[in-house]
Structure formats: C-alpha cells, structure tokens
Amino acid sequence: MSTGRIAKIHVHHGFEPAIGEAIAAQLRQGMPEREIVVSHREEELRARIAEIEVLLAFRPPRGMWSGARRLRLIQMMGAGVDALLPAPDLPAQVQITNARGLHGAQMSEFALAMMLALAKRIPRALEQQRAHLWKLYGLPLLGGKTLGILGLGAIGAAVADKARAFGMRVIGTQRTPREMANVDLVVSGPEGTERVLRESNYAVVLLPLTPETRGSIGARELDWLRPGAFFVNLARGGIVDEQALLERLRSGHLAGAASDVFAREPMPPDDPLWDAPNLIVTPHVAGLEPEYMVRLMELAVDNVSRLERGEPLRNLVDRERGY
C-alpha cells in the first residue's frame, strides 16, 4: 500500500456544481494545509486525471481511469457507487470509499414523510386548497400496518425505528439476515423479497444499485404488493421498472408512490412520470441536509490521513459486490 503526503485533493460532483463547491469549501476549512481543486466539467477532470491522487466524486465519468497513474483513493460523496462501478479500467491499487452511514437520520425522516404524505393524502389536500374545494376523504393509518423495507442497511434500520414509533409491523430483506432492533422479520434472497412485498402495505426500497439489483423490481414484483399499497423508492431509479410503476399507478393497483430517484436524472420535462396519478416526484434530495457536507468532509479528512499513514480506510467499498 503506498503512503506519503497528499498535497492536493480533487473534487468532481458531475451533476450539480453548487454541491461540488459546497464540499470544496468544507474541505478548505477541514484541511487548510492542502490545495483543493474542483473540476466541474468532465473535460477538466479528464485533463487532470494523470496528476490526481485523491478524488472526491459523486458521478465520475466512465472509462477514464487507465490514465489515473497516481490515483490512490476515490472517496465517493454518496452511499451509492453505481456511477463508478463496474470500472474495469480502474487500477487495482485505487481504494474506493463511500459515504455510507451518513444518511440514516435525513433519509429515514424522508421515508416517513413520504409514507405519511401518501397515507394522509397531502398532495390531494394541496390540490383542493388551490381549487378552494372543501371535500372530505378517508385517510389510512400507518399504525398496525406492515412496512416492508427492501435493503435493511443503516438507513433501513433508522426507518424501522421511526416506523415502530408509529406502531407499524416492520419486515425486510438483507443479504445475510441478522436480527435487528425494531424489525419483526428479516429475510433474504428472491423468496424473501416476494414474502416482504406480498405482506407489505407500505414498501420502501433502499437497495444499492448493482448488476444484481438493476431492474429487480418489475411488473411481477409490484404485483406482489397488496392492492392499495404504497410504494417508496429512495434508492436508485435503475432498480425499479418505471413503466411498470406507471401502469400500476394508473390502474390503481398501487394507491400511491413516491420516488426520489429516476432512471434519467435530471428527469426530462416530457417524462410521463411527472404526471403519474398519486406519484410524489422529488429531485434526488432525500439524502441532503445542511450538515451533510460537514460530515462528509470529516470522513474525507479522516480517510486522507489514514491513507497517508497507510492505515485501513473507513467505508471501504467491495468492488466485486458494488457497494
């Protein structure tokens, strides 16, 4: 493992320049002795790739790593590494770390916010308010209902804790099932997914996007949900078949859904999902909260120091598994 002082840190968000600048500003405070270089455009990053030792990235461009001769660490800015992996051209010595563990608080609040908004029909209330319309409607409970969480990691655990406070029964899937506080049943594999979906009144997807999970929630899986169920995707658009979701919202099989992530981001203005009945669309914001950049900076500072000292890094990603 190569060690040695790292003088420059490179940042590339690849999606939202303001976020790249925000993390760069934090890094300048957290490691004032190092130079922080931001590349907003892909061409800038490509032009610099041979000199980069440490890169903070969210959506790095594909197929540019063979020239990354000095690269030692890619610290991903989010928990997901699907924008980077698989990367067959990435030199073997490059370590990849992600930001897992930083999202539990804000994403669990967001998951509950979406479940409550759907159950309590907040979009309908706002529509009626805009139309000055006074008309009553029924509102299902969360209490006593079953919440199925696909992908019970750190975020799923935080969602389970909050759902339990609402009196929900919580079940979910995990690659290797282990007992979890506030989760009544943890299962794995395709049979586990089927069981969870069949029993759920509310389903929340929190899986990483990997070759294994891509497209894994299609028409068949959505049909396993009980008629009138609510579906929330906070993971990645590529996991869910969007056409199948649209059809099940149009048919009323699903009473409602919320999605923060889409196959195409930013979602083009002509995408039919914008107008899907009972779908709440949010622009990939569930993981953002004001303190996130500070916590991400602290993780990056720690990992750069560990790298210099030749110590094991935090949040190392398994390249084969893709998370």
Positions marked catalytic = 236, 265, 284
Closest CA to 315 of 77, 151, 82: 77
What is the amino acid identity at position 92?
A
Q: Which residue from 78, 104, 151, 192 is in contact with ligand OXD, where contact means CB under 6 A?
A: 78
Instruction: Output the smallest distance, CB 260 to ligand OXD, in A.
Output: 8
Residue whose CB is less far from ligand OXD, 58 or 224: 58
Binding-residue total with ligand OXD (CB under 6 A): 6
Q: Which residue is nearest to ligand OXD (CB)?
A: 78
Residue whose CB is less far from ligand OXD, 30 or 80: 80
When asked if residue 79 is in the footprint of ligand OXD (CB under 6 A), the reply is: yes
- 310 vs 128: CA distance, rounded Å: 60
Instruction: Output the smallest distance, CB 109 to ligand OXD, in A.
Output: 14
Per CB under 6 A, which region of 67-75, 77-85, 175-183, 190-198 contacts ligand OXD?
Answer: 77-85
Per CB under 6 A, which region of 72-80, 147-155, 156-164, 165-173 contacts ligand OXD?
Answer: 72-80
Instruction: Output the smallest distance, CB 287 to ligand OXD, in A.
Output: 4
Per CB under 6 A, which region of 73-81, 196-204, 249-257, 314-322 contacts ligand OXD?
Answer: 73-81
Residue whose CB is less far from ligand OXD, 20 or 287: 287
Site string for ligand OXD, 82-101 (x = CB under 6 A): -----------------x--
Q: Which helix (H) or strand (E) holds 187?
A: strand 185-187
Q: Which residue from 287, 300, 319, 322 is in contact with ligand OXD, where contact means CB under 6 A?
A: 287
DSSP-assigned states of every residue in 38-101: E--SHHHHHHHGGG-SEEEESSPPSS-GGG-SS--EEEESSS--TTT-S-TTS-TT-EEE--TT
Task: Tell me if 259 sits within 8 A of 285, measured CB to CB.
Answer: no
Closest CA to 189 of 213, 206, 173, 166: 173
Count Cβ atoms within 10 A of the Cβ of residue 179 and give its class: 0-12 exposed, 13-18 middle, 19 or more buried.
exposed
Site for ligand OXD in 101-120 (CB under 6 A): 103
Residue whose CB is less far from ligand OXD, 99 or 203: 99
Per CB under 6 A, which region of 37-45, 61-69, 74-82, 308-316 contacts ligand OXD?
Answer: 74-82
Structure tokens at 78: 């989010």
Residue whose CB is less far from ligand OXD, 79 or 239: 79
Q: What is the dihedral of CA 24, 27, 33, 35, to 10 degrees?
A: -20
Site for ligand OXD in 213-232 (CB under 6 A): none
Residue whose CB is less far from ligand OXD, 79 or 197: 79
Instruction: Output the smallest distance, CB 80 to ligand OXD, in A.
Output: 3
When asked if residue 80 is in the footprint of ligand OXD (CB under 6 A), the reply is: yes
Per CB under 6 A, which region of 44-52, 78-86, 120-128, 310-318 contacts ligand OXD?
Answer: 78-86
Closest CA to 240 of 285, 271, 207, 287: 207
- What does the H/E/C string look like for 256-314? EEEECCCCCCCCCCCCHHHHCCCEEECCCCCCCCCCHHHHHHHHHHHHHHHHHHCCCCC
**What DSSP designation does 5 have?**
-
Residues, the chain, total? 323
The residues of the shown chain that bind ligand OXD, judged by CB under 6 A, are 78-80, 99, 103, 287
